[in-house]
Structure 1
Amino acid sequence: MLFSCVASVAAAGDLPRPLTADDFLSFDRDQAALGQSLFYDTILSGNRNISCAHCHHPKFGTGDGLSLGIGEGGQGLGPDRTPGIGLARIAKRIPRNAPGLWNLGGRDLTVMFHDGRLSRSELFGNGFNSPAEEWLPQGLNSLLAAQALFPLVAQFEMAGNPGENEVIGAVHDRIDAAWPILAKRVRTEGGYGARFVAAFDHIDAPEEVTIVEIANALAAFMALEWTSFDSLFDQYIGGDHAALTADQHAGMQLFYGKAECASCHSGPLMSDQKFHALGLPAFGPGRTRMFDPYARDVGRMGESNRLEDAYAFRTPMLRNVALTAPYGHNGAFATLEGIVRHHLDPARSRADWRPEDAKLPDVPWLEAADFVIQSDAREMARQARVVPGKGPALNDEEVAQIVAFLKSLTGTHGVTDPLFGVPEWFTP
């Protein structure tokens, strides 16, 4: 989350320009209202037992408040979510931390997911380089719409386990085989078909609704609901130099100066959209490559197959970061102070970290595997080779000031005054 400008004081030229509405894609409000219903509805999951909102709820900053989430088969919401019982219980933790959904409608966004496995590209002729390759459907109106399709067909997130439903069965045939099944569900149940006809000009009958319209509606909702650029910091760079407290202002100077945070968290969106190895403590199942014999997470290398990308993860944007704990691709740090201090001395932080620092709900049948990676000396040695060196030397007061600045990035629109909010009928 940190570091590489050298100025000790942030001059005006060092700060990003203010974000405006023009920095975000336009979406239709009626389609967004339809997307809101779908986002909170379990109809899009294989076993009809989990919605997008179970892992991305505004109560937890559009995350779930966990280091590694509990997906399909679990019960409840956020840190209180339990892993289920009987045959329906979870078979695996979600491999990575549920990221916040703020500002994902940004025009300049080019890549999504912690490892960047979705990006804009004409490689497959559909506008995107994605896990679905040439089988990703045409007509998706944004990177965010494309992203919305993949949790629906992920076994441990929303699709379910083999043998449980027709959706996961189709996924194991070919990734795009499941989307028509979900689209048929939506257009024939709950009055959704008529709503699509009303919201989409090119849809004249429910039978015409495909997964593309569903994804576009979800994207419209997420973009309009969680666009945020009215924080105290945004007010400051917009010209109100009294917006920040003394500590927040000092933290801003450190962020854009001595602490070098802006070397990665750069530009108006506060991300370079690149990939960096931070040396976070290793635990959980990780997202393994097909031939990996054990649980580990190689990060960007899993997508690029380049050794120089090993254990590197995408730089997150920082608006509303104070709301989205825990932090890191696997949620290793429960507090902003923890992740900031990790950047200052990654090797020491990695050595001092303990399993109890992770926010993991009890799952007795998975506990033996949760931290098994740390007993693999060879894998730990491989990871140690890419752990960054020490960052700038900061004292406790300066760390506190950076944390104060990060808290100044919390906005109001979409936080205390969302456009749509949580439907009254949603029951976690």
Structure 2
Amino acid sequence: MTSDDFITVDPAQAKLGQLLFYDRILSGNRNIACSTCHHPDLGTADGLSLGIGEGGEGLGPHRTAGVGDDRIRKRIPRNAPGLWNLGARELHTMFHDGRLSVADTYENGFNSPAEEWLPEGLDNLLAAQAIFPLVAQFEMAGNPKENEVAGAVHNRIDYAWPILTDRVRHIPAYAEGFAGAFPHIDTATDITIADIANALSAFMIWEWTSFDSPFDAHLAGHPSALTEAEKQGMALFYGKADCATCHAGPLMTDQKFHALGLPPFGPGRTRRFDPMVRDVGRMGESDALEDAYAFKTPMLRNVALTAPYGHNGAYPTLEGIVRHHLAPLEMLDAWTRDMANLPDVPWLSGIDFMVWQDRLEMARLRAAVPMTNIQMSDAEVTQIVAFLGALTGETARDGPLGIPASVPSGLPVDGRITP
């Protein structure tokens, strides 16, 4: 990969997006930022299997579920993905279930949960993605009757974005920043949610585009960039282990959906009016039975930084998720609940593993797995894990902009995470 494979970014817009990414002003109750669940110290994720969103306290593995009336009402149903290389020009689908994609389904360039109400003026797929967590109840918006953003969302999704935009417009530093970074903006009243999303997109592309790993150096003609174990792991990855069938091409993903039979837990992500605690994956978006329990193939650069693994963070280590790919149903049977990194939430504990009590649901999940076992020795698994470690960029831990000391709203900023 080279810089030509990625969307070109305006540095002034990226700097503005950095402030917005770390500013809690974009959440309904002004208590959570994008950075809370996508922190650079945790590989742009949060280190949890299922995140603690709006109402929680703290960061990463130390985050708690809050107290009193402000405490969380639900875990985030899926694992917070890393943000690496989301500005790649080839990328056409986002989210674990692919509910956002480049398409002309609604004559606005995207197939998205906002359907025909998606705002105009979004520069790219990542910008379109950036506005959805802002209006998600359990992620950033908050609960109905708590704030005007959450209330608006429950009328219609696009009613909330102007409220957030108005907050940003009334902060002089943001008004000045947008006027300086976007040629079409002269005054604060010209700022739209699309401009906010485009700034966020510019920052994420600028900050987390990564193709300087030992693997990339090897591809560029430097065979000494990889150790012997990493080279052996690469040979297995592209050969006997059959990983590259799905983790294909420059992005190391086919951008398709596959049923792996990962151990289920959490509140699930169901279709509207579905009474069951479950996550049917892509089928929830497509309504196609062949998509049941299938999830999008993730990109792999910097994967060693983004534990835990799987669409729900079922495995704490790369070794665990590799072994699951090799023998899905055996690993499903061997999996134990303590492998899930779930902060203690006593009032939700009855839901966390409820799906395991549903014999028919578990049978359906198992039946959807088409894969056959691939026999690998322990040494070979170790070599594959070594190769995955060689996908970590040399500069991945040092973003060019980093964490700002403060943000224009004056709200607290998510700082560094201590081990």
**TM-score for the superposition, normalised by structure 2:** 0.97
Distance in 2, matches of 1:390 and 1:340, equals 14
Q: Equivalences for 1:235-384 in 2 at 5 Å? A: 235-384=217-366
Q: Report the Cα offset of residue 61 of structure 1.
A: 0.3
Question: Is this contact kept in 2: 1:343–1:390, CA < 8 A?
Answer: no
Alpha-carbon spacing, 1:203–1:339, altered in 2? closer, same or farther (3 Å): same
Distance in 1, matches of 2:401 and 2:80, equals 21
Worse overlay, 290-299 or 41-50: 290-299
| CA displacement, residues 10-64 of structure 1 (integer Å, 9 cap, x when unaligned) | xxxxxxxxx0111001111100100000000000000000000000001100000
Q: Secondary structure of 1:276's match?
A: strand
Question: Is this contact kept in 2: 1:43–1:186, CA < 8 A?
Answer: yes
Question: Is this contact kept in 2: 1:346–1:388, CA < 8 A?
Answer: no
Q: Partner letter of residue 311 of structure 2?
A: H
Distance in 2, matches of 1:100 and 1:389, equals 26
Aligned to 2:105: 123
Alpha-carbon spacing, 1:190–1:58, altered in 2? closer, same or farther (3 Å): farther
Distance in 2, matches of 1:378 and 1:151, equals 32
> Paired residue for 1:40, among 22, 34, 38?
22
Question: Is this contact kept in 1: 2:35–2:414, CA < 8 A?
Answer: no
Q: Report the Cα offset of residue 190 of structure 1.
A: 5.4
Distance in 1, matches of 2:70 and 2:14, equals 32
Q: List runs of 5+ in structure 2 lacking aligned partners.
A: 407-412
Q: Equivalences for 1:137-156 in 2 at 5 Å? A: 137-156=119-138
Distance in 2, matches of 1:337 and 1:262, equals 17
Aligned to 2:410: none
> Paired residue for 1:424, among 405, 413, 417?
405
| CA displacement, residues 143-190 of structure 1 (integer Å, 9 cap, x when unaligned) | 000000100000000000010000010000100000000000001025
Q: Partner letter of residue 403 of structure 2?
A: V
Q: Report the Cα offset of residue 300 of structure 1.
A: 0.2
Aligned to 2:78: 96
Q: Secondary structure of 2:258's match?
A: strand
Aligned to 2:391: 409
> Paired residue for 2:154, among 172, 176, 187?
172
2:76 matches 1:76: no
Q: Partner letter of residue 372 of structure 1?
A: M
Aligned to 2:37: 55
**TM-score for the superposition, normalised by structure 1:** 0.95
Question: Is this contact kept in 2: 1:231–1:412, CA < 8 A?
Answer: yes
Q: List runs of 5+ in structure 1 lacking aligned partners.
A: 1-18
| CA displacement, residues 244-264 of structure 1 (integer Å, 9 cap, x when unaligned) | 000000000000011100000
Q: Report the Cα offset of residue 191 of structure 1.
A: 1.7
Q: Equivalences for 1:204-223 in 2 at 5 Å? A: 204-223=186-205
Aligned to 1:16: none
Question: Is this contact kept in 1: 2:149–2:160, CA < 8 A?
Answer: yes
Aligned to 1:395: 377
Q: Partner letter of residue 13 of structure 2?
A: Q
Q: Secondary structure of 2:225's match?
A: coil
Q: Secondary structure of 1:391's match?
A: coil
Alpha-carbon spacing, 1:314–1:136, altered in 2? closer, same or farther (3 Å): same
Q: Secondary structure of 1:366's match?
A: helix
Q: Secondary structure of 1:383's match?
A: helix
Distance in 1, matches of 2:301 and 2:333, equals 30
Distance in 2, matches of 1:77 and 1:246, equals 37
Alpha-carbon spacing, 1:58–1:190, altered in 2? closer, same or farther (3 Å): farther
2:86 matches 1:113: no
Distance in 2, matches of 1:343 and 1:25, equals 32
Aligned to 1:9: none
Aligned to 1:26: 8
Distance in 2, matches of 1:390 and 1:127, equals 38
| CA displacement, residues 279-338 of structure 1 (integer Å, 9 cap, x when unaligned) | 000100121101210211000000000000000000000000000000000000000000
Question: Is this contact kept in 1: 2:36–2:414, CA < 8 A?
Answer: no
Aligned to 1:133: 115
Q: Secondary structure of 2:383's match?
A: helix
Distance in 1, matches of 2:189 and 2:314, equals 45
Question: Is this contact kept in 2: 1:279–1:388, CA < 8 A?
Answer: no
Distance in 1, matches of 2:356 and 2:398, equals 43
> Paired residue for 1:198, among 161, 180, 183?
180
Distance in 2, matches of 1:416 and 1:148, equals 22
Distance in 2, matches of 1:81 and 1:206, equals 35
Worse overlay, 341-350 or 384-393: 384-393
Distance in 1, matches of 2:273 and 2:53, equals 24
Question: Is this contact kept in 2: 1:66–1:359, CA < 8 A?
Answer: yes
Q: Report the Cα offset of residue 384 of structure 1.
A: 1.3
Distance in 2, matches of 1:389 and 1:321, equals 23
Aligned to 2:48: 66
Distance in 1, matches of 2:358 and 2:70, equals 31
Distance in 1, matches of 2:405 and 2:383, equals 39
Q: Secondary structure of 1:343's match?
A: helix
Q: Secondary structure of 1:340's match?
A: helix
Q: Partner letter of residue 206 of structure 1?
A: A
Q: Report the Cα offset of residue 125 of structure 1.
A: 1.2
